[in-house]
Structure 1
């Protein structure tokens, strides 16, 4: 790493006309956020993680026909025309089964309990059954080799349940690791956000005024993305990046957090600085790496600025690192009242889900751009108003992403 003891020129302060549009900041950072190597993890630890490869059924599910109700397993052809007035008699005696039982080989239907007079000999069939009635056929849940979870999908609780039912104990996942660097090991809320976004995260305190200490904290091994919270105007981080990597953007045309920025750090393999990596990753190990390029995002300490940096810069980077696909988690609802935005800046809007007079759902705007703590406390979702948009009218249907 280059010598950081030499005096560095203070980065030029940017005025409003020098702010970088958000899409340009993301475009500058995205090339350094390629998909990371997959690891194997236990299914029970895979919630909210991103599948690195398609997860397929190793065998047919169910392997044999099973009953979907309590009743009598019968051969459907033996029940043709049967009724209480003209009972049928089975060539093979009906077999009593419970929900989930495997059917005997001769059976291809399940009749309700009242449809068989079992107390008589031979048993009388009192109603007809079509082939497949009352049962789940072999391979009707999953055929052998059928995709259960596609690559790039975020695993939900129902996915974990299905994988367990198919006998799958481990899956290949891409789990980005995020380091939060701050003055006082702050950013625990960001740790929770990262975990919900399928990443592992930890915090580290350092001297924010020292570019050398900042660069050392950012460049420690085993992170895929670094977020510096508490950078103020970003001068110290910008100096560290300029010396040990590259400053990509300083000043983004978004409210809140205009002084946020991003860059890259040229990180070398550091010896003698082991971390409890395998514990953080379940049973997976990070391959040893030599010289790497580490994406860095920095933001002021105010929570509304850090939240904006997380939602608008860090989360898209995590999606790229994990190879996530699919739509964002959110909901489309009409606006309870209009949203007014300033053209030229991207405005972060926080919204709360509320009920309209008719009981239907709606988005209630809480704050736009200038976001107080109370708005964060009551918000359920967020929306980005693009710089060319002046806002949205009351009643307009809007898709907002969940916080």
Structure 2
């Protein structure tokens, strides 16, 4: 059966601009390290140098390299005092800049002979080698990943300042798999996501679930079409949401996008592929604005095969990386097996007829 569409379709660019209008980054909050993972860094604390001073990285004798010039087993260098023995991790004594192995110094009572030269920094970790003085754990606007958490833990920091927008997801019955996918994507993007199930598919039940308390972004999943059981759009209207229903975009033409007061609202179709496309094209830009995220990095490769697109409808192509090219997997309509194989996605503007084989294109990775 051919899917019925809303009577008019809003250009994707128009819908996105309306969603982003007046949206500002959320206020930063401090979170324990485990909870900050995936969130966007904001005003990171400046870390102390690590190590705070030169330390030994091996067990051995702490000495000054300039004092050891010419020392060898054939020409031992006598020392007036026994050098200091250090263990790995010990701070280097003042004036020392190298650590020699145990057999490089021959000690007999208070007398000692050096049997090898040393070079500055040998067996030594310089102050600030692992973490420079006043370095941030992560750059502002970047996701907090494993490396940032490692730096924070090594420096003894237990909380990080991040932006974590609050997302409310309302699921229309029979779209649970799609809701779970979107919730996983949201949490991976650093959102504080809560999912709620409407009691039934009627508009009144869905409207009761559209609570915007402590919410920076609202998504509904399913019920966005024009069939008799598609009541999510009617529920949004009941709550006073000003929205555009139907987008000149494929896949996901039956989606709706609008505002309830200052809160952006997006109604995603119940189909997993269509919901994912709307997530990439409309929701991710909103998340990035709310999080003050730095621009996402595109990967440029030539196309392994041409992509044809219809003028007047924006489309997303799914791509797989093959032999240093982007190979198109699906355009407009997405089989789930293509979604599973995709490495990246490419937005084709409504004014564009597509791309020729061999033409370099900028694609965004599905998993960063």
What TM-score does the superposition give when structure 2 sets the normalisation length? 0.86
Contact kept? 1:214, 1:240, Cα under 8 Å? yes
Please list every run of 5 or more consecutive structure 2 residues that lacks an aligned counterpart in the other structure.
none
Matched, 1:117 2:101: no
**SS of 1:81's equivalent?**
coil
Q: How many residue pairs end up in the alignment?
A: 355
Correspondence list, 1:262-281, <5 A: 262-266=257-261
* 1:128 positional shift: 3.1
**Between 205-214 and 46-55, the greater mean CA deviation after superposition:** 205-214
2:306 & 2:45 partners in 1: Cα distance?
44
* 1:90 positional shift: 4.1
Matched, 1:309 2:304: no
1:332 & 1:87 partners in 2: Cα distance?
61
Aligned to 2:46: 56
What TM-score does the superposition give when structure 1 sets the normalisation length? 0.79
2:6 & 2:357 partners in 1: Cα distance?
38
Correspondence list, 1:4-403, <5 A: 13-15=6-8, 19-57=9-47, 59-90=48-79, 93-112=82-101, 116-118=104-106, 122-184=111-173, 186=176, 187-206=179-198, 210-233=202-225, 236-266=231-261, 293-328=262-297, 331-354=299-322, 356=323, 361-403=324-366
1:96 & 1:200 partners in 2: Cα distance?
52
2:244 & 2:135 partners in 1: Cα distance?
45
Contact kept? 1:350, 1:381, Cα under 8 Å? yes
- 1:121-150 residue CA offsets vs partner (Å, 9 max, x unmatched): 733333433433432222343344332322
Aligned to 1:284: none
**SS of 1:377's equivalent?**
helix
Flag the 1:74–1:321 CA change in 2: closer, same or farther, 3 A.
Answer: same
Please list every run of 5 or more consecutive structure 1 residues that lacks an aligned counterpart in the other structure.
1-11, 267-292
* 1:382 positional shift: 1.5
Contact kept? 2:80, 2:112, Cα under 8 Å? no
* 1:368 positional shift: 0.8
- 1:92-149 residue CA offsets vs partner (Å, 9 max, x unmatched): 53444454333233422223556x1335673333343343343222234334433232
C-alpha RMSD of matched pairs (Å)? 2.7
**SS of 1:311's equivalent?**
helix
- 1:292-339 residue CA offsets vs partner (Å, 9 max, x unmatched): x321101221111101111111111111112212434x6444433222
Flag the 1:91–1:387 CA change in 2: closer, same or farther, 3 A.
Answer: farther
